[in-house]
């Protein structure tokens, strides 16, 4: 059973993908560790009643954990607002054989072996290929077909590689 969807990437989807990609990688883990360390230092200084140092570390923790994410989100949003890639509709056809990708100018089939990981966030479904590229599917554009796509992903990709909500 093949499932066909047409997707047009938008700025919020690309921004969500970038944030997810950065925050789930080594840089994101380092950011989280640094933020938690600053929270712990703020608490330690608060316990010792050194309020000024506690405030400094609390502010730095807030910047590291929240501020950096906002800065990245704003930068990506500004860069993607004028991107030509966002205006091009892409059709994806999911089947037992793989994923057929079609644009106005090109078409190509990728077998399921070409994909190493599948992840969902609150707003997007991401399929990472072995070549380092990704298919980004905004959930608000594939709502009707989502369950069928998720089922095909679960059937054709190794279970440890799939972090897709059903």
Query: What's 108's DSSP letter?
Result: E
* CA–CA dist 95, 112 (Å, integer): 9
Per-residue model confidence (pLDDT) at position 166 = 78
Residue 83: pLDDT band with limits 50, 70, 90: confident
Q: How far is CA 47 from CA 8, 37, 52, 53, 136, in A?
A: 52, 15, 12, 11, 46
* CA–CA dist 75, 138 (Å, integer): 20
CA atoms within 13 A on the CB side of 26: 0
pLDDT tens digits along 88-144: 899 999 999 999 999 988 999 999 999 999 999 999 999 999 988 999 999 999 999
Domain-wise residue ranges, the chain? 3-10+84-163, 13-80
Instruction: Please list, in sequence order, all residues whose beta carbon lies within 8 angstroms of the beta carbon of residue 42, skipping any fewer than 6 positions away.
Output: 54, 55, 57, 58, 61
pLDDT tens digits along 14-46: 999 999 988 888 999 999 999 999 999 999 999
Query: What's 113's DSSP letter?
Result: G
CATH class of 3-10+84-163: mainly beta
Residue with the larger pLDDT of the pair 87 and 99: 99
* Residue 113: count of CB within 10 angstroms of its CB: 10
Farthest-apart Cα atoms in the chain, separation = 66
Q: Could you tell me what percentage of the chain is helix, strand and coil, using 3-state DSSP and rounding each to the nearest 5? A: 55, 25, 25
């Amino acid at each position: 059973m093949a499932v066909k969807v047409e997707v047009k990437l938008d700025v919020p989807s690309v921004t969500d993908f970038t944030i997810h990609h950065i925050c789930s990688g080594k840089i994101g883990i380092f950011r989280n560790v640094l933020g938690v360390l600053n929270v712990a230092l703020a608490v330690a200084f608060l316990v010792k009643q050194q309020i000024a140092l506690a405030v400094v570390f609390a502010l730095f923790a807030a910047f590291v954990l929240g501020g950096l994410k906002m800065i990245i989100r704003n930068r990506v949003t500004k860069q993607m607002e004028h991107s030509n890639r966002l205006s091009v509709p892409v059709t994806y056809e999911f089947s037992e054989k793989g994923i057929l990708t079609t644009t106005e100018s090109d078409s190509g089939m990728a077998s399921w072996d070409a994909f190493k990981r599948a992840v969902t966030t609150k707003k997007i479904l991401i399929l990472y290929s072995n070549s380092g590229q990704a298919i980004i599917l905004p959930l608000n554009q594939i709502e009707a077909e989502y369950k069928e796509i998720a089922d095909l992903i679960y059937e054709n990709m190794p279970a440890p590689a799939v972090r897709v909500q059903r």
